[in-house]
C-alpha cells in the first residue's frame, strides 16, 4: 500500500505520451478513456496517500509532474489534430515554461534570494486545472463522437485561457510577495 500512490503517478506519467499518441493516431475513444482513467488515478493516488498517510518527497514531486505532463501532452496533441487553437496551447505551455524558468533561476541564484519555493496551492490554480481537464475531456469527447461544436469549443477555450491567466497572476503575486518580504 505504501508504494501504490507513486505507482499510480508513474502510470499516469507513462499515460501522457501514450494518450497523445492515441489522439494523433485518431484513436479518439481510446484517448478519451485513457485520459479519463489517468484522471481517476490522480484522485485515487491522492486519496490513498492521505487516507493511509503514505506520502513521500518523491511522490510530492512525481504526482504534479505526471499531471502536468499529461495535460501538456494532451494540449499539444489536440493542437496537432486541430482540436485546440494554437493561442490556447501556447498560453498553457508558456505559463508553465515561465514558472519553470523562474523556479530554475531561483534555484541557481540560490541563497541570494529569500524566496520560499514551497508555493501554496491556490484555489484559482485548482479551478484552472479543473477547467483545463474539462476542456481536454470535452475535446476528446467531441472527437470520439465525431461531433463539431465550434461555439462550445471556443467558449471552453476562452474559459480555459481566462482561468489559466488568473492562476498565473495568483502564483506570480505569491512569488513576488515572497520575494519582497
**Domain 4-180, CATH 1.20.120.1760 — does that match?**
yes
Size of the chain, expressed as the number of residues it contains: 181
Among candidates 157, 129, 27, 116, which has minimal Cα distance to 71? 129
pLDDT value of residue 119:
66
pLDDT value of residue 94:
96
Predicted confidence (pLDDT) per residue in 118-131, tens digit? 667 899 999 999 99
Confidence of residue 106 (pLDDT cuts 50, 70, 90): confident
- Name the H helices within the chain: 4-24, 28-51, 57-80, 86-109, 123-144, 150-180
d(CA 151, CA 60): 38
Task: Provide, rounded to the nearest whole percent, the portion of the chain with pLDDT above 70.
Answer: 94
Predicted confidence (pLDDT) per residue in 70-92, tens digit? 999 999 999 999 999 999 999 99
pLDDT value of residue 116:
57
pLDDT value of residue 115:
55
Among candidates 58, 48, 66, 71, which has minimal Cα distance to 11? 66
| Torsion angle, alpha carbons of 56, 62, 63, 65, to 10 | 150
Q: How many CB atoms lie within 10 A of CB 14?
A: 14
d(CA 77, CA 70): 11
Residue with cell 478513456: 33
Residue 114 has pLDDT above 70, yes or no: no
pTM of the model: 0.91
Q: How many CB atoms lie within 10 A of CB 92?
A: 22
Contacts of 70 (CB under 8 A, 6+ apart): 12, 13, 15, 16, 19, 35, 38
Average pLDDT in the 55-83 region?
94
**Domains in the chain: boundaries:** 4-180
Residue with cell 496537432: 80
Average pLDDT in the 147-167 region?
98
Amino acid at each position: 500500500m505504501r508504494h501504490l500512490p507513486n505507482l499510480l503517478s508513474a502510470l499516469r506519467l507513462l499515460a501522457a505520451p501514450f494518450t497523445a499518441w492515441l489522439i494523433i493516431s485518431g484513436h479518439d475513444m481510446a484517448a478519451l478513456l485513457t485520459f479519463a482513467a489517468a484522471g481517476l488515478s490522480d484522485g485515487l493516488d491522492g486519496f490513498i496517500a492521505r487516507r493511509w498517510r503514505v506520502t513521500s518527497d518523491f511522490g510530492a514531486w512525481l504526482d504534479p509532474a505526471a499531471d502536468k505532463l499529461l495535460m501538456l501532452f494532451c494540449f499539444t496533441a489536440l493542437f496537432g489534430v486541430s482540436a485546440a487553437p494554437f493561442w490556447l496551447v501556447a498560453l498553457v505551455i508558456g505559463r508553465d515554461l515561465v514558472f519553470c524558468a523562474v523556479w530554475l533561476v531561483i534555484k541557481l541564484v540560490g541563497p541570494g534570494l529569500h524566496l520560499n519555493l514551497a508555493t501554496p496551492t491556490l484555489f484559482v490554480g485548482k479551478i484552472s486545472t479543473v477547467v483545463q481537464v474539462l476542456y481536454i475531456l470535452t475535446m476528446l469527447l467531441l472527437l470520439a463522437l465525431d461531433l463539431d461544436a465550434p461555439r462550445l469549443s471556443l467558449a471552453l477555450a476562452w474559459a480555459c485561457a481566462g482561468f489559466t491567466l488568473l492562476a498565473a497572476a495568483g502564483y506570480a503575486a505569491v512569488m513576488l510577495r515572497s520575494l519582497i518580504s
